[in-house]
Structure 1
Amino acid sequence: MKKINIAIIGAGRMGQLHAKNFEYFVYGANIKAVCDQEKALAQKLAIEVEAEVYSDVSVLLLDESIDAVVITTPVQTHKTFVLQALEAGKHVFCEKPLCLNIEDANEMYQKATETKKVFQVGYMRRFDKGYETAKQKISEGAIGTPVFIRSTSRDPGLPPVPGWGCFPEKSGDISFELCSHDYDSIRWLLDDEVERVFGQAAVLSSIKEKGICGGTMMNDTIALTLKFSRGALGTVEGLLNIKYGYDARTEIIGDEGVISIGQMNYIDVVTGTSEHKISLPTAPSFTDRFAEAYIKEGQHFIDCIFNGQTPIVGVRDGLEAVKIAAAVNKSIQLAAPVNVTGEMLYGSNISN
């Protein structure tokens, strides 16, 4: 059977995760090349997956044997590499978020539409068994009409500090870096678009790290309310550097019932000791919590290439998540509700 030859662009943590998943767990995939400006990093990963090494994306894309690229570089580089890959006739898997502004997202959307290549964005929650089941039950009307959704994301880590975590503009702050997963999953679960947002954010659990950064860094705590176009309401909360483990949960309330996804404990084991204490293990990181989902999203990408299908999470979904994240950041900046189109509800009009 012919395999889809893949090039990994970016050999950091996510590049390593995807490279090993595609090479060892995804049927029909072959890691042909690894590219990173840090050649030693690329070489290390390439040895593990028996691939060729590149340090220049432009040179890599000249290889006609490469069918698809997986882009796992810092978000500021996504647009450049996506457009180059599409121009070279490659299928594209791009890690989230798609980019940091609506203009770039629109340009990427237009190019993907023109080239008609398979384009998938790395929102792996759609491939998690719990989220998949919830989506099916909502579609079947198990809880009637959804009226409220609550999404929670908590991560024990921080972006590099000192490093790019000290500069919110390089990551889009917590709204883009952490909560874009929430934005995508709530749109998908409710099959509806977010119309209005009102957000607040602060550095609350990383005061020491903020000092290391010289007094400015990515916010580690965010809380926002949302209104959907068909009238449902929702909330999203995101926290970084909260130590106890990775925690992602979602609750959807309908006029006839409720669905709850996820739980704090990672493995369904409870330990009781002679000290009269009960403990439950939490997920060390998002790669543990969604390990199976990452493999399934990779398989979906390959299947879409073989079958000429459109991924269930494509470039338009990436664009819509960027729109929400940008509106949230504008709302935080102005301390006012903002329509996702960019209109502030109280005061003068603004643009994203």
Structure 2
Amino acid sequence: MTYRSVTSTRPAPVRVGLIGAGWMGAFHAHSLALRIPGTDLTAIADPAADPAEALAAELGVARVTADPADLAADPDIDAVVIAGPARFHAELAIAAARAGKHVFCEKPASVDLEEFARVEEAVADAGVHWQIGFNRRYAADFLAARRDVAAGVVGTPQLLRSLTRDPGTGHLPNAERIAPWTIFLETLIHDFDALNWFNAGAEPVSVYAVADALVEPELKDAGLLDTAVVTVRYDNGAIAVAEASFSALYGYDVRGEVFGSAGMVQAGRSTETAAVRSTAEGRAAATPRLNVDLFVDAYTAELADFAEHVRARRDGGPAPDHDVALTPGPADARRALAVARACIASVQAGGPVAVEGSTAGGTSVPDGTATVTGAGR
């Protein structure tokens, strides 16, 4: 044979440790192992041994542990992806950052603003890249809408709207296991980020949230809220509305809209594809039933962006250059979390409240608005 040796110019892969082998963790694992060039899923950590080992075996991952601290201590790992339960996100991110690992964290970054302040401090002290999983920014239609807003197509934003309707059957399985305030902290927090992102440069000033248990009314006294509408006032005068339901019988429905002085732009769809069937019975279109079906490209793109940032930090190269603000970092996570916490305070107070830390520029809060700091922690 006359093979010749060739020196590769391909950059070393970004070596990632995954924390959490549940629904989203498994999807991210497949992205890191199979869908994103230049990444290597090096290890998986999850206290539940069976699903973690099954996932590792499927994807050819040799290292599995029940202790996330093993990933932080592993010199072969560049970054961690946190996809465990929300209540552990902050402490896991702090530990990883202090160990010098770059961090991708599923939303919410924390369930508490004071706790998230400790995440911000740890990330700043370590100088690592930290990114939150606000995947809608990476969906092609939402990104196209954001570009239109940035280009001035809609003029000055005046009215904004974002909605999330989870697919359901009219009954929520294991509803009693849904943590209180999930609708704000884990569902609508995506909408809050989308609204903040669309209305770039403005700060959310006040919130008025109304929520109820309309899908499972018998569980309201236990703390379940499955339906909500939120009005957000911004310091540039814009008014936004976000709404959510845990049970849309027709499928998964996520949409956004910006109306301004010069026009309007919309993003999102409630159909699986643009295909529409026309028969003697009428017209019908298939609808998505899973978040990983509707946002498969967005979930993949956000991790690809994360890997590019990590590679740039590790190898000293340029950071990804996006034509509009895209990569959601600590400031974006804090802003969305502040709106979510204000929603909790608003429901508890039965009226509008100020958004903590978001009255920059001395903008006054409308009369009758209570200032609530850290309520409901």
Would the TM-score normalized by the shorter structure come out above 0.5? yes
Contact (CA 8 Å) 1:34, 1:53: kept in 2 or not? Answer: yes
Superimposed CA distance per residue, residues 109-147 of structure 1 (whole angstroms, 9 cap, x where no aligned partner): 111112111111000001011111111111111111111
Quick check: 309-318 or 12-21, which moved more? 309-318
Contact (CA 8 Å) 1:123, 1:184: kept in 2 or not? Answer: yes
Q: 2:335 aligns with which of 311, 317, 320?
A: 320
Secondary structure of the equivalent of 2:211? strand
Aligned to 2:159: 148
CA distance in 2, matches of 1:193, 1:98: 19
Superimposed CA distance per residue, residues 20-49 of structure 1 (whole angstroms, 9 cap, x where no aligned partner): 011111121000011100111110111122
CA distance in 2, matches of 1:123, 1:222: 20
CA distance in 2, matches of 1:217, 1:291: 32
Contact (CA 8 Å) 2:130, 2:330: kept in 1 or not? Answer: yes
Amino acid aligned to 1:269: A
How many residue pairs get matched? 343
**4+ residue runs of structure 1 moved beyond 2 angstroms?**
157-160, 308-311, 342-350
- Listed as ranges, the gaps of 5+ residues in structure 2 are 1-9, 314-318, 321-325, 358-364
CA distance in 1, matches of 2:234, 2:88: 31
- Listed as ranges, the gaps of 5+ residues in structure 1 are none
Residue 264 (1) aligns with residue 275 (2): no
| CA 1:199–1:40: 2 relative to 1, 3 Å | same
Aligned to 1:196: 206
Aligned to 2:244: 238
The TM-score with structure 1 as length reference comes to: 0.93
Secondary structure of the equivalent of 2:258? strand
Q: 2:95 aligns with which of 84, 106, 109?
A: 84
Contact (CA 8 Å) 1:105, 1:322: kept in 2 or not? Answer: no
Match runs of 1:1-150 below 5 Å: 1=10, 2-51=12-61, 52-150=63-161
Q: 1:185 aligns with which of 171, 179, 194?
A: 194
Residue 218 (1) aligns with residue 224 (2): yes
Tell me the CA shift for residue 347 of structure 1: 7.5
Structure exhibiting the larger radius of gyration computed from Cα positions: 2
Tell me the CA shift for residue 328 of structure 1: 0.7
Amino acid aligned to 2:373: S
- Percentage of identical aligned residues: 29
RMSD: 1.9
Superimposed CA distance per residue, residues 195-217 of structure 1 (whole angstroms, 9 cap, x where no aligned partner): 11101000001236x39xxx524
| CA 1:300–1:40: 2 relative to 1, 3 Å | same
Tell me the CA shift for residue 334 of structure 1: 0.6
Tell me the CA shift for residue 108 of structure 1: 0.6
Larger RCO, structure (CA 8 Å, separation 6 or more): 1
Superimposed CA distance per residue, residues 281-325 of structure 1 (whole angstroms, 9 cap, x where no aligned partner): 111122111110011101100111112338721122111111110
Superimposed CA distance per residue, residues 169-195 of structure 1 (whole angstroms, 9 cap, x where no aligned partner): xxx331112100001111111102211
